[in-house]
A and B are shown apart, each in its own frame.
Chain A
Amino acid sequence: MPPRLATILLVVAAGAVAAARADAQPSDLAEQAIKQSWAAASKEWQARLVQDETQKLCSLYRNKPPKQIADAILARERATIRYPADGKLMGDWRRGETLAQSGYGGRFTDYPARAENGGNCYACHQLAPTELSFGTLGPTLLNYGKSRKFAPEEVKTVYERIYNPQALTACANMPRMGTNGFLTIGQIRDLVAYVMSPESPVNTPVAKEQEGKDSK
């Protein structure tokens, strides 16, 4: 190859590389936009905009990660789950019901806190048959415990799903309530009881409850 042609090719190639570099990625531009757009927020609040590895990957793959990535997410998220020291995964279903109804907490108007954070389960799930104001972003949980025969391994799965759904489904839509520190272990236990306890209205058909009252 004549040296002049080689030089031209080199220059063209270098130009292509430079052009590719100048063509910033949308995600990089989005990060710049985020810095510019929450400039007035405090450092502590700005930290909420920083993504962890799982959030980054789920955003990149729009919640459909390839198998290898999904497996890595499952393993990483599972490692974050903490269990109650006494091993009891079910608490008080009545407290669980209150938490399932409450959407309070974490919004910038919620400080200083006037109540404990809620689980806001009804925003996305059907639970007790008497509550008709439920969302449908998540699956129905009506009769969830009963239909699984209240099995202990199912109780454990529900605990894990609330603590960190991404330990079971990579890039699940549901928030990682335990891992993200939004709910405490005690609160999660109460929610598990609401879903899994035989006494909970989630597992009690309305008519049966009526029947019980009548026979007394």
Chain B
Amino acid sequence: MPWFGKRALIAAAVVSALPLLAAAQDTERELERYRQMLTADPWSNPGLLDVDRGAALWKEKRGPKNVSLERCDLGRGPGKVKGAFAVLPRYFRDAKRVMDVETRLVWCMEKLQGFSRAEILKRPYSKANQPGTDLEALATYVAHQSKGFKFQPSLRYRKEKEALAIGEALFFRRQGPMDFSCATCHVEPGKRIRLQELPVLVKPEVARREIGGWPAYRVSQGTVMTMQHRITDCYWQMRLPQIDYGSDATIALTMYLANQAKGGEITAPQIER
């Protein structure tokens, strides 16, 4: 075969391989276009449906005690929602532990409304293409009430500093049959799993952009996903057992991420793939 024939074949092979690559780039481009549309018209973000539902759930008299969550203290005093998410996770004296938004909501649903913990946690996460659970809607509502605020995690209490140190240690802790840590995927810049780009969470400028968007609306799932769910999924992928909802490790990792994102603006619910 003449050399130009070979070259033509190489070109043909490259061209035939193009659609897949193009498809991946298209997905990324379309997602970006979608994000821009949402910036132009913020009301078109489907995550806002969960925000609205969360707002209604917050005010509704519910549970065995038939009271609303309007007396729930998210850290800025009973009923104060605005800006509260920007200072979470934080230490709560009544619970004697550091809590993230979801753990605190569960606490309020238990203590104020009289729900049983088992009842609340029967279905903490929605599956793909299901409407968000009550807990997801409430968490999205509370986060959205800090939109425009900047992450200023509290480090006044010893327990808060400890949570940060634990979170950092867990981020770099290798374990399990795959020897993975969070750092395996989230330290080196410009890396992908298959075609999925990975955020470098040890870089404050990346963390600021990424973390403030959670709970996020995931286009591929058609539902909101909380940080508790995100962390649970990462550990699932790392071949570790299912982590307990609202456990110390999940809160410590959230604390580490919130501190990495310190000064970053809260944009939840951000659109994610």
Q: How far is the CA of A30 from the CA of B17 in the complex (A)?
A: 47
Q: Mark B80-97, 1 if CB is under 8 A from A, else 0.
A: 000000000000000000
Whole-angstrom distance between the alpha carbons of A135 and B191 in the complex? 7
Tell me the minimal C-beta distance from A23 to chain B in angstroms. Answer: 10
Q: Which residues of chain B are near A207, meaning CB under 8 Å?
A: 6, 9-10, 12-13
Check: B178 CB closer than 8 A to any chain A CB: yes
A4 on interface, CB distance cutoff 8 Å: no
Cβ B177 vs Cβ A29 within 8 A? no
Q: How far is the CA of A124 from the CA of B172 in the complex (A)?
A: 19
Task: Indicate whether A33 sits within 8 Å of B6 (C-beta atoms), given known contacts A38-B247, A135-B194, A181-B177.
Answer: no
Given A33-B252, A37-B250, A175-B180, are A109 and B236 also a contact pair (CB < 8 Å)? yes
Determine the distance from Cα of A107 to Cα of B3 in the docked complex, in whole angstroms.
50
A46 at interface by CB-CB < 8 Å: yes
The complex places the Cα of A180 from the Cα of B188 at a distance, in Å, of 25
> Are B178 and A38 in contact, CB atoms less than 8 angstroms apart?
no
Interface flag for A19 (CB, 8 Å) = no
Q: Please encode chain A, from 133 to 167, with 1 for each CB lying within 8 Å of some chain B CB and 0 for all others.
A: 11111000000000000000000000000000000
A134 to B24 alpha-carbon distance, docked (Å): 11
Among A24, A59, A122, A211, point to the contact of B194 (Cβ < 8 A): A122
Contact with A along B240-252 (1 / 0, CB 8 A): 1111100111101
Q: Is the CB of B249 within 8 A of A34?
A: yes
- Give A134 to B243 CA distance when docked, in angstroms: 29
- B17 adjacent to A132 (CB under 8 Å): yes
Residue contact A59 to B241, C-beta cutoff 8 Å? no
B178 in contact with A51 (CB, 8 Å): no
Q: Does B154 contact A (CB under 8 A)?
A: no
| Chain A, residue nearest B252 (CB) | A33
Q: B1 contacts which of A37, A107, A136, A215 (Cβ < 8 Å)?
A: A215
Q: Is B168 an interface residue (CB 8 A)?
A: yes
Query: A124-B193, A211-B6 known; A62 and B166 CB under 8 Å?
Result: no
What is the total number of residues of chain B having a CB less than 8 Å from a CB of chain A? Answer: 52
B67 within 8 A of A: no
CB closest chain-A residue, reference B185: A137
Partner of A135, one of B1, B181, B193: B193
The answer to whether A49 has its CB under 8 Å from any CB of chain B is yes
The complex places the Cα of A59 from the Cα of B170 at a distance, in Å, of 9
Closest B residue to A40 by beta carbon equals B244
Report how far A135 CA is from B236 CA in the complex, Å: 19
B40 to chain A: which residues have CB within 8 Å?
A: none
CB proximity to A under 8 Å, residues B1-29: 1, 6, 9-10, 12-14, 17, 20-21, 24
For residue B237, CB closer than 8 A to chain A, the reply is yes
Q: How far is the CB of A154 from chain B (nearest CB, A)?
A: 24
A38-B247, A134-B194 given. 5 additional CB < 8 A pairs?
A26-B165, A30-B169, A30-B173, A55-B179, A106-B178
Pull 17 A–B residue pairs with CB atoms less than 8 Å apart, ordered by A: A26-B162, A26-B168, A29-B166, A32-B248, A33-B170, A41-B241, A48-B241, A106-B178, A107-B237, A108-B236, A108-B241, A129-B13, A132-B21, A135-B195, A173-B184, A206-B14, A207-B12
